[in-house]
Structure 1
Amino acid sequence: MGQQPITFLRQVMALCTYPNLLDSPSFPEDAKKRARRILQACGGNSLGAYSASQGVNCIREDVAAYITRRDGGVPADPDNIYLTTGASDGISTILKILVSGGGKSRTGVLIPIPQYPLYSAVISELDAIQVNYYLDEDNCWALNVNELRRAVREAKEHCDPKVLCIINPGNPTGQVQSRKCIEDVIHFAWEEKLFLLADEVYQDNVYSPDCRFHSFKKVLYEMGPEYSSNVELASFHSTSKGYMGECGYRGGYMEVINLHPEIKGQLVKLLSVRLCPPVSGQAAMDIVVNPPVPGEESFEQFSREKESVLGNLAKKAKLTEDLFNQVPGIHCNPLQGAMYAFPRIFIPAKAIEAAQTHTMAPDMFYCMKLLEETGICVVPGSGFGQRKDTYHFRMTILPPVEKLKTVLQKVKDFHIKFLEKYA
């Protein structure tokens, strides 16, 4: 997609991987300082050694310090931090310890629809019960607590709803939840004794000027001890998204609070079965949570690169929304955050019939035609879940601006021809 790696992150990673470079004048002193600190905390001063199952201690300390800064002083305990193989690993591990029971007492897991398919896949793998709650497309994909109430009430007839997953900012829907909405969700989880899973991997990706990222942890603490001492919460972050885009390092962390000490013991035991997350990924996570600060020599270049990536994404989010909304038969909500558009598409009755003859979902049929005729690959909305008789696709906004304009124009031309063909 043309995004350049963040120089500072790659410098520290190079130094950690090949420590002989610590003597090289080509590397800035602040990068060397971080590499030395990470290496000193590793067994044998090497990324090649196993780490503690929960992750390298000094990196967990840096994560805790980052969370405390991010949340305006709300304390984070390194002992509640677990380094993970990307956020996905953390999410599936937590679900593994939460799922139990059989028949009507089987654990129900509430997930947003549309959802990121990791959730339905893990729920299916663990033989848990998927409980859908629908985001409100007419209200910019907002989360409505009355819809959560409906989902829990209906689910109680056939399972035991115990877990509530939230993706904020949203994937594939790109919405950023308001503070009021987060408070409502926390209050609901407290009422229903639900374990909260807050997938916050896009926390750096907020583009709408009237939106701000609020972490579930911060809002939970600000709601007072009745909530902050009782609501169980696991929140997740990763090196894969944000301005870093370092997906291949498989670095991530989760912060788990208010877990019963015995369950915490089981979680550590479960994590120790897989020995440890990749130590190179842990080091990459450290640089994300411990970037250059004012006064350090890499600060200006780092800030320039970070702002460039996020500024470009904000431009592309607006461009995508505006261009899609000019096309008859396509409607796209504002892209407040994350990295995707999830426009709603009108599919004529004749096209739906044609899809049926190919035993395909109508939006899959549409996406295959788009791929065949333009070479553009998007994911049908049916892969994420959507309300009955509505159709969508998910498209990334990552390509460079000029390429993105070309892609959007091609989608527009295709869509108009598609409507004419099946009118």
Structure 2
Amino acid sequence: MLSRKKVLSLESLNPRVKGIEIATLEHLTKRGEELEQDLEQGGQDRPFSEIVRCHRENLQGMGQKPITFIQQVAAACAYPELLNSASVAEDAKRRARGILQDLDGSSIGCYNLRYICSSIPQKVAKFIERRDGGIPSNPRNIIMFPEASLFIKNVLALVCTEEEALQTGVLVPVPHCPVYTEALVLVNAVKVPYQLDEANGWALRVAELRQAVQEGRKHCNPKVLCVINPGNPTGQLQSRKCLEDVIRFAAEENLLLFADEVQQENVFGAGCSFHSMKKVLFEMGPTYSATVQLVSCFSISQGFTGECELRAGCIEYVNIDPTVMDYILTTVTVSHSPILGQIAVDVLMAPPLPEDPSYRSFMEEKQSTRASLAENARLTQEMFHQAPGIHCGPIQGATFAFPRIHIPEKAVTRARDQGMEPDVFFCYQLLEETGIILAPGSAFGQAEGTYHFRMTLLPPREKLKTIVESIKEFQKKFLQDYA
């Protein structure tokens, strides 16, 4: 037979795909799995008895109970026999019957583009109008999607054109979720980083945006400004004044605003309020509300519901030409999430009312989750404040802490000798000695010469205390060993 090159090989792989760095976090996760297998096979020489995954948001995996009403409605839609069960609340049954009437063939097994493209966007629009105090929302400008990473890739793909002399530039905060880096590589865009102000609670400064745009224009064409609020991994909320300044800047520089608001339901800082970019935009008057283009996204996988694997959320487009929306609708009809995820969005957009049987339990579960996050954030900050070489600023929302850590020069040198970033070296050492997996700050971006880690706030209270105490003790020993 003739010797032929393989069609798909490392040599032939799309250069953009090869441009995606295999995340350090994945290597840490893999090492954690190896250690877990060793423990399960009787490895007794480890100073810990379990692997604790604190690097990702996995609410129910960390013990959070699911929202009963959402699961009852979804379950009854998947298995309509439950509509006759006394274990399902009457208002959950009523809601499930209404959804089943909207589904083709009254079944989740059918293609349900009408439900996904028309019925749910109408409910999302009403939710947005309630959230924003009556500012209109057009269901035609709302697109349903399976997960945040697809939100980002889809929007960026719309504005990145290879016909132009310069690549499209996208302003992204530092730190930011790694999915932005991956998306930018895949759509052949250029990351234009802007630093958040850690010393002032990770605030966004327009002066920093202006400098980033000026630097970016030397090698690309900045078109998009991403704002993550509440912050991931930083857990901060941007003030209303900050958002107003950002909108003025976007208008001045003719930038498309991309508001990543997937954590908007997780706000618990004392005196803090979430301000949607759209609400602020429209309250600034027609000078801005009629001209500034905005795309905002929301997800159920990262809210208080904790339905990470249902993978559902939405994008709202503002000030986008109707003809352009026709193209967008055409290109995304194959990107919808599984129907159970869309049903969960349906329920969340119109939760039980005070007169409904499930209202009390729904509100108790929702408030319990938020209260738990608030207390865990307070506890984490307080305990790290007592640790040598760790500083954790105020956490106002989302589900992570992003403490800054001091790494001695000797440890920095050792890490460089091993081809690692210093915070990656720290996280590997921590994993080997405690069984705790953290996400190194370099995976998210950080100011030069600073080191961080991201840690979830989701473990049950007593377990969280144990985790933080273990990190504190490790850091004390780490500082001594590399003094």
TM-score range, shorter chain: over 0.9
Corresponding letter in the other structure for 2:121: R
Counterpart for residue 308 of structure 1: 368
Counterpart for residue 184 of structure 2: 123
1:170 and 1:275 mapped to 2: Cα distance?
Answer: 26
Counterpart for residue 407 of structure 2: 347
> Is 1:379 aligned to 2:436, yes or no?
no
Q: 1:403 to 1:275 in 2, by over 3 A?
A: closer
| Residues 88-237 of structure 1 aligned to structure 2 (within 5 Å) | 88-101=149-162, 104-237=165-298
| Residues 294-373 of structure 1 aligned to structure 2 (within 5 Å) | 294-373=354-433
1:231 and 1:291 mapped to 2: Cα distance?
Answer: 32
SS of match in other structure, 1:110: strand
Please list the CA deviations of residues 36-56 of structure 1 after superposition, one character each: whole Å capped at 9, or x if unmatched.
Answer: 221111111111112228924
> Is 1:49 aligned to 2:102, yes or no?
no
2:233 and 2:356 mapped to 1: Cα distance?
Answer: 37
* 8 A contact 2:262–2:298 mirrored in 1: yes
| Residues 25-64 of structure 1 aligned to structure 2 (within 5 Å) | 25-52=86-113, 55-64=116-125
Corresponding letter in the other structure for 1:204: E
1:283 and 1:106 mapped to 2: Cα distance?
Answer: 39
1:250 and 1:98 mapped to 2: Cα distance?
Answer: 25
- Identity fraction in percent: 52
SS of match in other structure, 1:105: coil
Corresponding letter in the other structure for 1:217: K
2:365 and 2:310 mapped to 1: Cα distance?
Answer: 20
1:51 and 1:185 mapped to 2: Cα distance?
Answer: 38
* 8 A contact 2:266–2:398 mirrored in 1: yes
Instruction: Flag structure 2 segments of 5+ consecutive residues without an equivalent.
Output: 1-61
2:381 and 2:480 mapped to 1: Cα distance?
Answer: 23
1:259 and 1:225 mapped to 2: Cα distance?
Answer: 15
Partner of residue 5 from structure 1, selected from 51, 66, 69? 66
Corresponding letter in the other structure for 1:207: F
What's the offset of the Cα at 1:57? 2.1
* 8 A contact 1:54–1:271 mirrored in 2: no
2:114 and 2:325 mapped to 1: Cα distance?
Answer: 13
1:353 and 1:381 mapped to 2: Cα distance?
Answer: 18
1:46 and 1:87 mapped to 2: Cα distance?
Answer: 26
Counterpart for residue 75 of structure 1: 136
Counterpart for residue 389 of structure 1: 449
Please list the CA deviations of residues 216-274 of structure 1 after superposition, one character each: whole Å capped at 9, or x if unmatched.
Answer: 011111011121111111111111122101010111111111112232122112113x2
* 8 A contact 2:146–2:335 mirrored in 1: no
2:368 and 2:176 mapped to 1: Cα distance?
Answer: 29
2:326 and 2:114 mapped to 1: Cα distance?
Answer: 12
SS of match in other structure, 1:55: helix
User: Which of 83-92 and 229-238 deviates more?
Assistant: 83-92
Q: 1:412 to 1:53 in 2, by over 3 A?
A: farther
SS of match in other structure, 2:437: coil
2:246 and 2:274 mapped to 1: Cα distance?
Answer: 15
* 8 A contact 1:370–1:411 mirrored in 2: yes
Please list the CA deviations of residues 316-365 of structure 1 after superposition, one character each: whole Å capped at 9, or x if unmatched.
Answer: 00111111111111111101110111011010010011111211100000
* 8 A contact 2:230–2:263 mirrored in 1: yes
2:177 and 2:114 mapped to 1: Cα distance?
Answer: 27
Counterpart for residue 464 of structure 2: 404
Counterpart for residue 24 of structure 1: 85
Counterpart for residue 35 of structure 2: none
Q: CA RMSD in A?
A: 1.3
Q: 1:97 to 1:242 in 2, by over 3 A?
A: same
Partner of residue 252 from structure 1, selected from 272, 296, 313? 313
* 8 A contact 1:103–1:159 mirrored in 2: no
Corresponding letter in the other structure for 1:91: I
2:157 and 2:96 mapped to 1: Cα distance?
Answer: 34
Counterpart for residue 19 of structure 2: none
* 8 A contact 1:115–1:172 mirrored in 2: yes
Q: 1:374 to 1:271 in 2, by over 3 A?
A: same
What's the offset of the Cα at 1:94? 0.9
Corresponding letter in the other structure for 2:426: Y
SS of match in other structure, 1:219: helix
SS of match in other structure, 2:329: helix
Corresponding letter in the other structure for 1:308: S
* 8 A contact 1:50–1:276 mirrored in 2: no
